[in-house]
Amino acid sequence: MSPVNIKNADLHSHSCVSDGTLTPEALAERAVARGVELWALTDHDEVGGQHRARDAALALGLPYLCGAEISVTFGGETVHIVGLGFDPDHPGLVEGLKRTRGGREQRAREMAASLAQAGIEGAYEGALKYVGNPDLISRTHFARHLVEAGVCRDTYEVFRKYLTEGKPGYVPHRWAALGDAVRWIREAGGIAVIAHPGRYRFTANEEYALFSEFREHGGRGVEVVTGSHTAQEFAKYGDMAREFDLLASRGSDFHSPEESHADLGMLPHLNASLSPVWEALADRIHRP
């Protein structure tokens, strides 16, 4: 299928190589079962699942784009940048991601110490039980443990009460610089996309600064349709894509059948007035 005819692209999802619960192979099957026409696995700060995801997708007849979601610190806030269509073996990208992952272990130990002060013991060991990749312990793994331990009803409650700024268990962390993340993606032949812009607690001015600086660094896309956006945000970020001359992306941000609100391939299509990011990546798509 020509990229121009693709509507059901899902270019944001997580496997057990980061903080999802399914394997890359199980995700590929799920994507096909839900009618996805082009898929990208975008694990946090990690490309270790890319070859598996691509091979599984192609074996099922599903076109595939390489992906990753890079953690960035911008304006004192954590911002996520999705990279699409890059070479997952590019040394600069691989090294940059390795450095970005580097602080996670120490941060996890500090999170556990902070939770212990709040009376919750053994959270590090508990979170480890959910970790599929020892290099990538995340807040999500702590959240799953705290639900299992009966501290909270679901992972959303854990984040509300424990793992977000100002709450016990939250440890501030410095991630990659915006310019570095965009450069790693570009030098590896991919396109950088601002992930779920509606999730950041920015003022209008700060958001404008993010979009402008991202463009100056050579970033080219923004997620318009994503699992954490409301219908108003689909419209708002569609307008911002046009205002900043950015390509539009679409992805569920699926993590787990039990936890995620949006399943693979189930969100509304991009508005026809937008330029889909996958049309600019036609030569980077792996085809069956």
Nearer to ligand AMP, 6 or 74 (CB): 74
Nearer to ligand AMP, 30 or 284 (CB): 30
Site string for ligand AMP, 237-266 (x = CB under 6 A): ------------------x-----------
Q: Is 43 in the site for Mn ion (CB under 5 A)?
A: no
Residue closest to Mn ion when measured from CB atoms: 80
Cα dist. 49→16, 97, 272 in Å?
9, 13, 32
d(C-alpha 210, C-alpha 197), whole Å: 10
Q: How far is the CB of 19 from ligand AMP (least distance, A)?
A: 5
Q: Is 19 in the site for Mn ion (CB under 5 A)?
A: yes
- For 81, counting Cβ atoms within 10 Å of its Cβ (0-12 exposed, 13-18 middle, 19+ buried), the class is buried
Residue closest to ligand AMP when measured from CB atoms: 138
Q: How far is the CB of 134 from Mn ion (least distance, A)?
A: 17
Q: Is 80 in the site for Mn ion (CB under 5 A)?
A: yes
Question: Where do the H-state alpha helices sit in 91-138?
Answer: 91-101, 104-117, 123-128
d(C-alpha 36, C-alpha 6), whole Å: 9
Among 13, 21, 42, 71, binds ligand AMP (CB under 6 A): 71
Those residues with Cβ within 8 angstroms of residue 26's Cβ, 6 or more apart along the chain or in another chain: none
Q: Is 130 in the site for ligand AMP (CB under 6 A)?
A: no
Cα dist. 224→12, 46, 77, 270 in Å?
12, 23, 20, 8
Among 253, 264, 270, 278, binds Mn ion (CB under 5 A): 253
d(C-alpha 235, C-alpha 21), whole Å: 31
Nearer to Mn ion, 80 or 104 (CB): 80
Q: Is 101 in the site for ligand AMP (CB under 6 A)?
A: no
Site string for ligand AMP, 136-165 (x = CB under 6 A): --xxx--------------xx--x------
Binding span for ligand AMP by CB under 6 A among 52-60, 120-128, 134-142, 278-286: 134-142
> Judged by CB under 6 A, how many residues of this single chain contact ligand AMP?
10
Record the tokens describing residue 29, joined without a space.
Answer: 């099957």
Nearer to ligand AMP, 156 or 216 (CB): 156
> Which DSSP string do the residues of 203-233 spell out, in sequence order?
-HHHHHHHHHHHHHTT--EEEEEETT--HHH
Those residues with Cβ within 8 angstroms of residue 158's Cβ, 6 or more apart along the chain or in another chain: 142, 143, 146, 147, 151, 152
61: alpha, beta or left? (left if phi > 0; alpha if psi -120 to 50): left
Q: Is 45 in the site for Mn ion (CB under 5 A)?
A: no
Record the tokens describing residue 88, joined without a space.
Answer: 């997952």
Among 44, 90, 101, 284, binds ligand AMP (CB under 6 A): 44
Closest to 65 (Cα-Cα) out of 34, 94, 32, 38: 38
Q: How far is the CB of 249 from ligand AMP (least distance, A)?
A: 16
Coil, helix or strand at residue 93: helix
Q: Is 133 in the site for ligand AMP (CB under 6 A)?
A: no
- Residues contributing to the site for ligand AMP (CB under 6 A): 19, 44, 71, 138-140, 155-156, 159, 255
Residues near Mn ion, by CB under 5 A: 19, 69, 80, 195, 253
